[in-house]
Structure 1
Amino acid sequence: MNEENTEGMLTITAVEQDRKERYRYQLFVNNGQEEPFLSVHEDIMIRFRLLKGREIHVDELKQITEEDTQHRAYALGLIYLGARQRTHKEIARYLARKGIDEMSAEQAIQRLIREGFVDDAAFAKQFASGRLRSQMKGRRLLQQELRQRGIAKETVNEAIDRIDTSEEAEVAIRAACKKWPYLKGEPTDRKRKLATFLLRRGFPGSIVKQAIQAAIAQEELDEEGHMLDN
């Protein structure tokens, strides 16, 4: 190969497995440095046949680096998803903290979406339904929490609209009946405190009124039962 053809070429002089990261390999080239020139995942190494003696043009090196970064972003995304389901925005924030550039992160996330690992619509529906039952939160608070997770407004609204009003009312009544006995003061003050509590939990005004009435009625029934027992 003449001097013109070899200009801008790097030759791999050694390939060593990374001691800290099992599936990554360090590439050494003919640049006189003792430190590895590049570290790549084994999938990238195999795809580009990055073996000892392989010559790499500087233009190809850019492609190798970009694809390795995208692969790393994808792998990090999968690890992050291992704990629980995540939103598009949550993964993007996580990858940014890991030093992944925005373009590589987005390409990795789009791959995760295509493979069914990331689905904001499914996440929103599951989140709203689960938090309503387990944490006794109303639609307004759930809507706020979903938006904080970076889910699109239209997707959030669709998930919130799917909440069954009767189920939400049952949850609000359960929360009201649990809170009511611990509120002190005159009946009017207790009602005001309970209304404030339920509104902060994200329940709509109409459901709040229904829940307060149910809590009062439940207390009266309990008192009647106590009197009969005596």
Structure 2
Amino acid sequence: MPIITKITVQKKNKERYNIFLDGTYAFSVDEEVLARFRLSKNKELTDFDIGEIEYEDEIRKGFNKALFYLSYRMRSEHEIVLYLRNEHEMGDASIQETLHKLREYGYVNDEEFTKAYVNTQLRTSDKGPQHLQMALKDKGVSPGVIEAMLETIPFEEWLERAKQVMQKVIQKNQKQSEMQIKKKTQDTLARKGYSGIIIREVLSSQAIDRDDDEMWQAIYTQARKAHNKLVNKYEGYEYTQRMKQALFRKGFQMDNIEKVIDHLAKEE
């Protein structure tokens, strides 16, 4: 059986030790593994001993790598698995044992991770529940954990957040018709992960309050755009009909459409 002939501390990492068997470097181990297996000079090692030592050392290295990864922010178990597998090429058995140790010491907990993630998103973004659900699913959190967390947030809170999204859309689109604003709101809320029930409730309950000047600026802006596209292609009756169709499709009332067409004619 090979005998440990020398043990030296690594220069770049004082917590790791080089093990020499029969005068030749064989492998390195973490300080904790060195102590656990009582490795010392003149100790004999079987092939089984060496395999067990290397396996435990891989777990220890995985544990330390995972702690470094967790030092930046909380992670889901799935994120840690991918990190150890893809970045450090650890085997599945070692990864699962590493996860067991991380759980034992309280460094990973998908329930706590999900809670922290959702609370952060609620503070820093206007994303809806479906968006959060998909993001957590991508992080490997189980559907049951995700559902349990999202159920703690009342419907009224999601509704209020959706209303705030609509107000932002209104502010950014002052020169568009009410119909256009509602369409943009619907698209924006859907993209941000709000359900159809919430979207319908917001659109039916939120008024788009604008004074006469604001409404005139909206229709005038859209009419000017349509005019610039049509004026060199059509004239007379056909121009007027196409202008009416373009503005009507955008949700403006016919009496206001006729007024703005007359206004543009006088400008010309």
Q: What is the rounded CA distance, in whole Å, between the counterparts of 1:155 and 1:136 in structure 2?
A: 22
Encode CA deviations 1:165-221: one digit per residue, 9 max, x unaligned. Answer: 11111211112212222135322122111110011101112222333456534x44x
- Of 27, 36, 56, the residue aligned with 1:47 is 36
Aligned to 1:115: 105
- Of 185, 188, 191, the residue aligned with 2:182 is 191
- Of 65, 84, 89, the residue aligned with 1:76 is 65
- Of 9, 28, 31, the residue aligned with 1:17 is 9
Q: What is the rounded CA distance, in whole Å, between the counterparts of 2:61 and 2:106 in structure 1?
A: 19
Q: CA deviation at 1:103?
A: 0.8
- 1:180 equivalent in alignment to 2:170: yes
- 1:63 equivalent in alignment to 2:52: yes
Q: Residues 2 and 46 of structure 2 are in contact (CA less than 8 Å); yes or no, is this contact kept in structure 1? A: yes
Q: What is the rounded CA distance, in whole Å, between the counterparts of 1:28 and 1:216 in structure 2?
A: 79
Amino acid at match of 1:122: E
Q: What is the rounded CA distance, in whole Å, between the counterparts of 2:167 and 2:14 in structure 1?
A: 55
- Of 198, 201, 205, the residue aligned with 1:207 is 198
Q: CA deviation at 1:125?
A: 2.3
Q: Secondary structure at the match of 2:28?
A: strand
Q: Percent of pairs identical after alignment? A: 27
**What is the alpha-carbon root mean square deviation over aligned residues?**
1.9
Encode CA deviations 1:57-112: one digit per residue, 9 max, x unaligned. Answer: 11111111111111111111111111111101000111112121111111111121
Encode CA deviations 1:107-150: one digit per residue, 9 max, x unaligned. Answer: 11112112221111121122223213321111111100000000
Q: Residues 10 and 55 of structure 1 are in contact (CA less than 8 Å); yes or no, is this contact kept in structure 2? A: yes
For structure 1, list consecutive stretches of 5 or more residues without a partner in the other structure: 1-8
Q: What is the rounded CA distance, in whole Å, between the counterparts of 1:127 and 1:74 in structure 2?
A: 23
Q: What is the rounded CA distance, in whole Å, between the counterparts of 2:70 and 2:188 in structure 1?
A: 34
Aligned to 2:130: 140
Q: Residues 5 and 41 of structure 2 are in contact (CA less than 8 Å); yes or no, is this contact kept in structure 1? A: yes
- 1:155 equivalent in alignment to 2:145: yes
Q: What is the rounded CA distance, in whole Å, between the counterparts of 1:211 and 1:148 in structure 2?
A: 28
Q: Secondary structure at the match of 1:56?
A: coil
Q: What is the rounded CA distance, in whole Å, between the counterparts of 1:72 and 1:157 in structure 2?
A: 34
**TM-score, structure 2 normalization:** 0.73
More displaced stretch, 207-216 vs 166-175: 207-216
Q: What is the rounded CA distance, in whole Å, between the counterparts of 1:63 and 1:178 in structure 2?
A: 61
